Amino acid sequence: MATYQPYNEYSSVGGGDGGGFETTDQRPNSSESGGAQGRFTTLTPVTIKQILQSQQQVQDGPFVIDQQELFHVSFVGVVRNIVDETSNVRLTIEDGTGQIDVKKWSADPNDVAASQDENLKKNYSSQVAQQYHIGTYVKVFGALKEFGGKQHVQYALIKNIESFNEVITHHLEVIKWFTISNGKFSPSKANADEQATTSNNGPSLFVRESDSHDTGNPLQRVLAFCREQCAGKDPNNFAVQVQLIAQSLNLDETTVRDCCTTLTEQGFIYPTINDSKFFALTS
């Protein structure tokens, strides 16, 4: 097992194993998760402190923080430590408000084979560990669950951040959803203001609800297709693949991936099992 840790000058907020993933990739069905379908199709941008301080008000109920119910969450942070466990990698991620350990499982056959050989895995550097580097920013998507009396983010997708704009955008989204949940901000007013700005200054850089079924733009076509496919589905066991989108809409995969990246950043869809499978949020 290889461990990378350049320094020890960060606090142990949340404990050594706090916030890690369960050691299973099996995704629960809706009956195990409980509640209405609406809870599955909400993705809340949060800080790590919000995850660690969230509480379940009822047994098996949603975690709640700042009057927000948390089901699927996303957060950004800096990778502070990497522990290569061959079949998976455990990353310690810190965002200035706290730190949390998350576990990403490998689907690489070489990693899986090496994990079953005690001699080989002592000096083995897994493919999944090589995807991440100390000191770089990542964005994490997952479902917030309780395990062993602690908050855990399960079904991890950990994406390397290529532009610092993603970090800034995420924190703005955290502020936005905090103000909405506390009644200090009206989404309908924001949409009206955005539409007014668009009419005065030209086309908007963002997808608007009124444009979500516009067949003249690949971005809107991808969003409409994802919403159609995901309607009434449970994201714990369903996702729309990039290849299916490309084939169905007669678009090349590069265009579809670019559209999915933009729609994820704007909060319309989010990645599930990996960065090629997505689920659309309710409109």
Q: What is the pLDDT of residues 115-134, one digit of tens each?
A: 888 777 777 888 888 999 99
Q: Residue 197's pLDDT band (boundaries 50, 70, 90)?
A: very low
Count how many residues are written for the chain: 283
Q: Residue 151's pLDDT band (boundaries 50, 70, 90)?
A: confident
Most trustworthy range by pLDDT among 11-15, 46-50, 266-270:
46-50
23 vs 87, residue with greater confidence: 87
Q: Residue 256's pLDDT band (boundaries 50, 70, 90)?
A: very high
Look at residues 98, 84, 94 and name the one whose alpha carbon lies nearest to residue 131: 84
The answer to whether the beta carbons of residues 97 and 47 sit under 8 Å apart is yes
What are the structure tokens assigned to 141, written together? 């998507």
Considering the chain, tell me which residue range(s) the CATH 2.40.50.140 domain(s) occupy: 2-165
Which numeric CATH code is attached to 206-283?
Answer: 1.10.10.10
Q: Residue 136's pLDDT band (boundaries 50, 70, 90)?
A: very high
Considering the chain, tell me which residue range(s) the CATH 1.10.10.10 domain(s) occupy: 206-283
**CATH class entry, domain 2-165:** mainly beta
Average confidence (pLDDT) over 17-32: 34
Q: Residue 34's pLDDT band (boundaries 50, 70, 90)?
A: very low
Tens of pLDDT, residue by residue over 160-193, are 998 888 899 889 888 888 888 777 766 555 555 5
pLDDT of residue 207: 53
pLDDT of residue 19: 32
pLDDT of residue 14: 39
238 vs 209, residue with greater confidence: 238
